[in-house]
Amino acid sequence: MQIATPYLMFLGDVPDRLAAKTAYGIVDWRPEWCVGQTRLPGCAADLGIPDLTIAEGVGRGARTLIVGVVNAGGVLPPHWIATIVEAIEGGLDVASGLHTRLGSVPAIAEAATRHGRQLHDVRHSDQRFDTGKGTRRPGRRLLTVGTDCSVGKKYTVLALEKGMRARGLDADFRATGQTGVFISGRGVAIDAVVADFISGAVEWIAPAADPHHWDLIEGQGSLFHPSFAGVSLGLLHGAQADAFVVCHEPTRTTMRGVTHPLPSLQEVIDLTVQLGRLTNPEIRPTGIAINTQALEDGEARALLEKLAAEHGLPATDPVRFGVEGLVDRLVAEFPA
């Protein structure tokens, strides 16, 4: 699909920043595409870009309204429909990463037909996937895995892509979620793929390549999360990862949306190796990525030093402190 830019970001009335992580990801990595945000009363997220009405967004050149939110089940709240219809009537296409198809809402479908606007459901793909085969294929692959959802797996691989390319390495970000697809213009929202075909879809995203090419595959969920472990396992097997980076947010005590406690980093490393060996017996951890946004600078640096010493792996906050150590480890572990 070709989504017209620039974007007007729609946040609805989400209760917190994490619920708008799709919008934040687009603004962080494609700020030049975002003319402003439109919000409903009570919205607790703020992208730090101009608040605009639909008409003002169109006046500033916006061509697509992005429904930049996530929620449990990926549903479209009924009280958001009027804003989406207003955008269509104002001349905007609409793109969404929710599970609810825009065209399945009669008012939205009718408005789009009447005004000749495009509806893009990024979470849904017309591509047909085979079941995963687990057969070794050339090329190198890195997967980000997590102690929980929304801990920085996407940001880590995007930062790695930038850092590895700066070092002259052949590396590409491979999107497996709706935000990543908005950012990269390609990929598949893995959580919308029928379960039997998840690993096959990842094999399609990261196919056979030059032996020294790196596919940097965006992880999803956590092997320990009772809601999403199935998606995480399918990703791990389809990625056939040579390397993985463990991502973590250190201030959480329970996993997002459930009451289960977070696993330790070592538990994630051990289980990822155990399960990942099914499709790549040589899988290994090559780094730790910590989201230190809630920590002061000194506290963050001390935590990273402690974790690096405990696990014998480079530890960093990829956004705050860069990925040089992670790239160094990959170069050392996988020489050209």
pLDDT of residue 1: 58
Q: Which CATH architecture has domain 140-333?
A: 3-Layer(aba) Sandwich (3.40)
Measured CA to CA, the distance from residue 185 to residue 30 in angstroms comes to 11
Residue 295 near residue 304, CB atoms below 8 Å: no
**Bridge partner residues of 261 (DSSP):** 254
Task: Write out the chain's pLDDT in tens, 336 residues.
Answer: 578 899 999 999 999 998 998 999 999 998 999 999 999 999 999 999 999 999 999 999 999 999 999 887 789 999 999 999 999 999 999 999 898 999 999 999 999 999 999 999 988 877 889 999 999 999 999 999 999 999 999 999 999 999 999 999 999 999 998 888 888 877 898 988 999 999 999 999 999 999 999 999 999 999 999 999 999 999 999 999 999 999 999 999 999 999 999 999 999 999 999 999 999 999 999 999 999 999 999 999 999 999 999 999 999 999 999 999 999 999 999 998
Measured CA to CA, the distance from residue 165 to residue 60 in angstroms comes to 34
Domain 140-333 in the same topology as domain 7-121: yes
- The SS3 of residue 121 is strand
Measured CA to CA, the distance from residue 220 to residue 3 in angstroms comes to 23
pLDDT of residue 239: 98
Structure confidence by residue, pLDDT tens digits, 64-80: 999 999 887 789 999 99
pLDDT of residue 205: 94
pLDDT of residue 137: 96
Buried b (16+ CB within 10 A) or exposed e, 83-115: bbbbbbebebbbbbbbbbebeebeebeebbeee
**CATH superfamily, region 7-121:** NAD(P)-binding Rossmann-like Domain (3.40.50.720)
Domain range summary for the chain, segments of one domain joined by +: 7-121, 140-333
